Structure 1
Amino acid sequence: MESFLFYATLYLIAMVVAVPLATRAGLGSVLGYLLAGILIGPVTGLSGTEMTDLQHFAEFGVVMMLFLIGLELQPRALWAMRDKLIGLGGLQVAITMTLVTGIVMAMGEDIRVAVALGMVMSLSSTAIVLQTLNEKRLMQTAGGRSAFAVLLTQDIAVIPMLALMPLLALPGARAVAKADHGTHVVGQLIDSLPGWGVTLITLAAVALTVLMGHYLIRPLFKFVQTAKLREINTAMALLIVVGIASLMNLVGLSPALGTFLAGVVLADSEFKHELESDIEPFKGLLMGLFFITVGAGINFDVIVAQPWDIAGLVILLVALKSAVLYGLSRLFKLHGSDRSLFTLSLAQAGEFGFVLVSFAVVQRILPTPLAEKVLVVIALSMLITPLLFILHDQIARFARADKAPDPDDIDEHQPVIIAGVGRFGQVVNRLVTMSGLRTTVIDNDLRTIQLMRTFGFKGYFGDPTRPDLLAAAGIAEARVLVVALDGRDKTTELVRYARRIRPDLHIIARSRDRTHVFDLYKAGANDIVREMFDSSLRAGRYVLENSGLSEFEAAELEKLFFKLDRAAVRDLAQVWKPGVPVEQNAAYIARTKELNTELEAAMMEQYRRRDAKEEDDHESPGTLEGGQDA
């Protein structure tokens, strides 16, 4: 107990000291955790034999992180990412694995060792990359979303890698491994099964996870909530994560992938936000602990014995993966800072590499000295990842200073497109998205888009009047287009173009003034909103309410004025002449005077009806009394 309290105190002190210092220095929390681990382990030697067990425990932080990511991804969103998952992610894994295998064979290693190392080095660090992307608010960028797609593909690829690894072992190696490790061999349940049995068990475990998410977890959560105790809800959330992770581990699959699938299944659940709030604190603490154990687990004896070999291998790995990622970023048309973010963020090895190396050692594929060297290379490549993000920040800053940024690549088609997201467009977008609908937001102001992303809203940088950008946004399938651009001429131009290519599209446009309404009416807008009109109406209603009218009466007059003014605008559009000042348009002026007279008469009639109703209400009690007296 005393040793437990000592180590708990030690790790907590490291967290609360190193992480704030690293964050204030602009290095990010992940590098702070890693440096704290190095200080505890290799530098001071304070860590003990508890480190291995602690690392296995801390790996649940990665499991919980992928569960939370799954909760944010509805199945239809995952299906929409299929091109990047299969294309971008699949190519990254395949190409990197092939190149690493070839290089290792050229160094004189056996093909079995080369293929195993190709698998290990094709993976990147889901934990570090996603944590840093979220901290720097880069997840909503095109580069961030592409990096996430590749990481998700890699996590899925761990399953076939674990299944294929035993096939690389020499004859009899699995029997020796089982004899040495007893029942603790990874995938113990399926070790004795033939290949088709392993496949069936794998598919059954995935199917069971999906079915439990649909038919078991939701009613169980409803039952637990009847206790109305926060700690029981938290226990239920932990049970979901730990239970599914245990099931995946039992059949030799990735626990992180299993919990990710469960998160996707529960993304539409009414308990989604409660699950997030219950799991988030545990995830953050365990992730920090995981990074500390990575730093503390670096074997500096291997580095001291072969410093130049280790440094060369780390540089070679980062350079090789960066080259592959850069080529894919060009192939998939990432531009500017998105390209550098995608390239540099995934250039390291990953935490699942520790799992694969350990498994390869158990299966007698990798000799222990080589495995120790590989583990150090993996850890060091993860250690320099925050520095690669800092390098990306510098590249992005120089790129912004040298030239105007390239527009984002739009990789989704939503039913509502909002062109322009200034003060007007932001309110529209918030109302629509918070009502459960999905939007594609495009604006030519990069700072506005970045500000949106800061608050968790997704948006794309680019000129909404460009036909190619509109096509990429899905104008051919959209149901509604909201045009809220600042420029008067650009607004009219966009409405006219959209109406020409989509006669059936419902177009809602913001106008600057009444004459702009006429332009937009001619251009083909369905609904036209004058930017000051509605707010002016509300102010006028407040005046009426504070001038003796009731709230109901003021609201009725406001509705009447709104209705009649809209009709008047449609009428005036027939006599309005483009390019002719209104004061020189005699027909327009005459018709305006007539409509104003009609509007005033209608408003007075409303007043007359109000006065007549008040008089009737005042007289009715007296009549009633007279009738009673008679």
Structure 2
Amino acid sequence: MAGEATAALAAEAAGHGGGPDLLSVVVLLAAAVIAVPIFRKLGLGAVLGYLAAGLAIGPYGLGFFHDPQSIIHVAELGVVLFLFVIGLEMQPSRLWAMRGEIFVLGFAQVLLAIAVLTCVGLALGFPVAASFVSGTGFVLTSTAIVMQMLAERNEMALPRGRRIIAILLFEDLAIVPLLALVAFLAPGGEEVTLPARLIAIAIGLACIGALVLAGRYLLNPMFGLLARFGGREVMAAAALLVVLGAALLMQWGGLSMAMGAFLAGVLLSESSFRHQLEADVEPFRGLLLGLFFLGVGMALDLRIIAQNWGLIAICVPAYMILKMLVIYGTGRVLGAGRSEALERAVLMAQGGEFAFVLYSSALQVGIISGQDNAVLTAIVIVSMALTPLLIILHDRLAPRPAPSLEGVEAAQGLEARVLMIGFGRMGQIISQPLIARGHSISIVESDPQTIRDADTMGFKVWYGDGSRLDVLHAAGAAEAKLIVAVAGDRQAVTRIVELAKHEFPLVPVLARAFDREHALDLVEAGADYQLRETLESAFAMGREALLRLGDDPEAVEEVMEDIRGRDIKRFEMECLGGIFAGRDLLLGNRKS
């Protein structure tokens, strides 16, 4: 169903008047399917892949499409659906808790950025009104790009991600007064009277009130009725009806469609149908959002860039650098850490899709010319294309924050019968029988948060990297009766075994193996005992499956012993038969 809807939208966006043009649909899908995996493989991200694919198939590439703006208008529904999904994750209580971040942080950043970016146009000799509109449009960040990057980085639910979402929500709200201000600044703008502006504000508030009332008293009963008497496809249609209806209502009220979808999501966030709605909307959201990025790539007018390359070469870095400085400075003043403020500045450095709306409005009222609109649009699109590259540079060059060692003690001078390195899921279980029998254990872990969590459970865990020889000495490996290597990294476990057997050959070493191939590596490194972490649990699960199917218990035990014996023999043959030299030949049998 999602594919059919996208096909119809793509055909409409391509501007074909007859039946659906399957060639256009195939080209769109092929461009995405080819470009996105390649760019992901290169570490450049999906967004840049979509943009490059759009440029390749657009009017300034291979020429399959000639009206990218129509595709963007249809594909903006992807942004709308994205905001709806975000709203589903934002309960009203959480949104109320974010009110300070939305209005204080968002207002400070937007206001200061407008003031600073307006100076770029003034410095280049443009009139005040045109400079204001140019800079203000660039202040409005691309919700689509930032949300997609947050999703790829798994930061949507983190506090730093929620603060960025709060700023984006304020920018969505800001588009309304900014559009009114554009009309006021226009030649003849004094004709826009105070009563007219008050009426526009009242209409917007009335639309918000109507949406809140509908969400509170109509949506849950409607979905309950459909769940009883409708089908899966009717529920999906109802989900789209709610999202698009809320977006249309906000558009009628002079607000952004994305804001309407977000509010609809918030109103349904505590509904028992929330997860079903999210599952129904997700396919449409992903396809349409990809189509939006394709459309933006198509809209990159290479002729305008070639004709005005000097101005664009000045404005793009000027706008992006100044905006980043404003975002970084505002974040630091309002309490953000250095790394968070820098990441926020890089993520939000570009102009966004609302800039197109603002520039179009300014063109209609005569503040900017058609040529200015084309140049400003190109500047925004270039900045959107550069953002994924900036993120890559940030991730590679920015110093990684060192883990906090507060409340953590380094391993030194330890004395115990057992030295355990690693206190993850296996280490915690292995330690219990040892403690129950009264054996003393020194536990070393390299993750400070795991150490703090263990402390709340009553375990004393020391900080240290067990794959370093000096840490092993400090932790008392030479005096230990047993070393248990169960760290969370396979290379670290192998290194621990190699060091321990070389430096303390008389101390037995038990090691955690991640798979069959790793188990062979550990045997080669000299481990006295190794066990694949999934082996015994898999045997137990297989045994239980046979019993649940009604097999005779004695037959089950016989089968399991036979399988266990064959696994042991096969492993011994691999160890003793010179398999280490030709391991690739048996790789398919080593992932158990």
TM-score higher than 0.5? yes
Cα displacement string for residues 566-603 of structure 1 (whole angstroms, at most 9, x for unaligned residues): xxxxxxxxxxxxxxxxxxxxxxxxxxxxxxxxxxxxxx
Give 3-state SS (helix, strand or coil) of 1:214's partner. Answer: helix
Cα distance in 2 between the residues matched to 1:446 and 1:139: 27
Judge conservation of contact 1:322–1:344 (CA < 8 Å) in 2. Answer: yes
1:338 aligns to what SS in structure 2?
A: helix
Shift of 1:173: 10
Name which of 316, 324, 327 aligns with 2:326: 324
Counterparts in 2 of 1:173 and 1:164: CA distance versus 1, 3 Å: closer
State which of 32, 47, 51 in structure 1 corresponds to 2:49.
32
The answer to whether the 8 A contact 2:308-2:375 is kept is no
Paired position in structure 1 for 2:188: 171
1:349 alignment partner, SS class = coil
Alignment CA distance shift 1:232-1:2 (3 Å)? closer
SS in 2 for 1:333: coil
Matches within 5 A, 1:439-478: none
Give the corresponding residue for 2:32.
15
SS, match of residue 384 in structure 1: helix
Deviations along 1:234-260, one digit per CA (max 9) or x if unpaired, are 000010011111112223210111111
Q: Offset at 1:158?
A: 1.6
- In 2, Cα distance between equivalents of 1:60 and 1:148: 18
Q: Does the CA-based 8 Å contact 1:47-1:296 persist in structure 2?
A: no
Conserved in 2, the CA contact under 8 Å of 1:42 and 1:298?
no
Q: Which amino acid aligns with 2:298?
A: A
Measured in 2, the distance between the counterparts of 1:347 and 1:399 equals 21
Partner of 1:225: 227
Distance 1:202 1:49 in 2: 35
In structure 2, C-alpha distance between the alignment counterparts of 1:462 and 1:302, rounded to whole Å:
58
Work out the CA distance in 2 between the residues paired with 1:108 and 1:484. 66
> CA separation in 1, counterparts of 2:64 and 2:168?
31
2:349 corresponds, among 342, 347, 352, to: 347
Structure-2 change in CA distance of 1:297 and 1:445 (3 Å): farther
- CA shift for structure 1 position 148: 2.0
Could you say which residue in structure 1 is the equivalent of 2:400?
Answer: 399
SS at match of 1:226: helix
Shift of 1:93: 0.3
CA distance, structure 1, for counterparts of residue 231 and residue 349 of structure 2: 45
Q: Which residue of 2 aligns with 1:388?
A: 390
In structure 2, distance between residues paired with 1:158 and 1:111: 19
Cα distance in 1, alignment partners of residues 217 and 336 from structure 2: 41
Equivalence for 1:483:
456
The Cα of 1:171 is off from its aligned counterpart by: 1.0
Q: Please point out which of 114, 128, 140 is paired with 1:97.
A: 114
Contact 1:337 1:395 in 2 (8 A): no
Tell me if the contact between 1:173 and 1:364 (Cα under 8 Å) persists in the aligned partners. Answer: no
Q: Aligned pairs, how many?
A: 416
Quick one: which amino acid aligns to residue 167 of structure 2? V
Task: Give the Cα separation in 1 of the matches to 2:207 and 2:107.
Answer: 23
With over 3 angstroms needed to count, the CA separation of the structure-2 counterparts of 1:192 and 1:342, relative to structure 1, is closer
Cα separation, 2, equivalents of 1:85 and 1:55: 27
Matching residue of 2:558: none
Q: Aligned equivalents of 1:488 and 1:55: distance in 2?
A: 55
Check if 1:200 corresponds to 2:202: yes
Q: CA deviation at 1:320?
A: 0.4
Shift of 1:334: 2.7
Aligned partner of residue 65 in structure 1, secondary structure = helix
Per-residue deviation, 1:446 = 9.2
Contact 1:51 1:293 (8 Å CA) reproduced: yes
Which residue in the other structure is 1:601 paired with?
none
Following the alignment from structure 1 to structure 2, what is the Cα–Cα distance between the partners of residues 312 and 115?
Answer: 17
Alignment equivalent of 1:48, drawn from 46, 65, 81: 65
Q: What amino acid sits opposite 2:23 in the alignment?
A: F
The aligned runs of 1:567-582 (5 Å cut-off) are none
* SS of aligned partner of 1:366: coil
Aligned partner of 1:75 in structure 2 is 92
Query: 1:172/1:83 Cα in 2 relative to 1: closer, same or farther (>3 Å)?
Result: closer
Whole-angstrom distance in 2 between the partners of 1:164 and 1:341: 31
Match of 1:374 in 2: 376
CA deviation map 1:22-62 (0-9, x unaligned): 11111111111001001011543424344222211100001
CA offsets 1:429-486 (integer angstroms, 9 cap, x no match):
xxxxxxxxxxxxxxx999697xxxxxxxxxxx99789xxxxxxxxxxxxxxxx93364
Which whole-Å CA distance do the structure 2 matches of 1:58 and 1:406 have between them? 47
Aligned partner of 2:78 among 44, 53, 61: 61
Q: Which amino acid aligns with 1:124?
A: T
Task: Say if 1:336 and 1:406, in contact at 8 Å, map to a contact too.
Answer: no
Q: Is the 8 A contact 1:318 1:381 kept in 2?
A: yes
Amino acid at match of 2:314: G
CA contact (8 A) 2:183 2:365 kept: yes
5 Å-filtered alignment, 1:155-166, equals 155-166=172-183
Alignment partner, residue 237 of structure 1: 239
User: Is contact 1:67–1:260 with CA below 8 Å preserved after alignment?
Assistant: yes
The question of whether the paired residues in 2 share the 8 Å contact of 1:113 and 1:365 is answered with yes
Matches within 5 A, 1:411-450: none
Q: Any idea what SS the aligned residue of 1:399 has?
A: coil
**Does structure 2 conserve the Cα–Cα contact (< 8 Å) formed by 1:337 and 1:392?**
no
Letter of the 2:381 partner, please give it: A
Could you tell me the TM-score, scaled by structure 1's length? 0.61
Q: 1:290 to 1:303 in 2, by over 3 A?
A: same
Seq. identity, %: 38
2:128 is the alignment partner of 1:126: no
- 1:167 Cα deviation from its structure 2 partner: 1.2
Secondary structure of 1:19 counterpart:
helix
- Aligned residue runs from structure 1 range 246-395, under 5 A: 246-395=248-397
State how far apart, in whole Å, the 2-side matches of 1:335 and 1:446 are: 24
2:269 alignment partner, SS class: helix
Change (3 A) 1:302 1:362: same
- Code of the residue aligned with 1:72 in structure 2: it is E
Secondary structure of the residue that 1:59 maps to in structure 2? helix
SS at structure 2 position matched to 1:268: coil
Q: 1:205 to 1:109 in 2, by over 3 A?
A: same
Contact persistence 2:246–2:257 (CA under 8 A): yes
Provide the TM-score with structure 2 as the length reference.
0.65
For residues 142 and 226 of structure 2, the distance between their equivalents in structure 1, rounded to whole angstroms, comes to 35
Once the two structures are superposed, the pairs formed by residues 551-630 of structure 1 within 5 Å of their partners are none
Distance 1:106 1:336, change over 3 A: closer
Distance between the aligned counterparts of 2:208 and 2:65, measured in 1? 37
1:108 matched residue in structure 2: 125
1:403-438 per-position Cα deviation (integer Å, ceiling 9, x unaligned): 54699xxxxxxxxxxxxx9659x99xxxxxxxxxxx
Q: Where does structure 1 lack aligned partners over 5 or more consecutive residues? A: 176-190, 408-420, 428-443, 450-460, 466-481, 491-630
RMSD: 3.1
CA shift in 2, pair 1:45/1:339, >3 Å = same
Q: 1:270 deviation in Å?
A: 1.0
Q: Secondary structure at the match of 2:350?
A: coil
Q: Distance in 1 between matches of 2:312 and 2:171?
A: 25
Task: Give the letter for the 2:171 counterpart.
Answer: Q
Larger radius of gyration: 1
- Give, in whole Å, the separation in 1 of the partners of 2:362 and 2:98: 32
- Write the deviation string for residues 122-177 of structure 1: whole angstroms up to 9, x where unpaired: 111111111111112123444323322222221221222223221121117999xx
Change in 2 beyond 3 A, CA 1:120/1:92: same
1:194 is paired with a residue of what secondary structure? helix
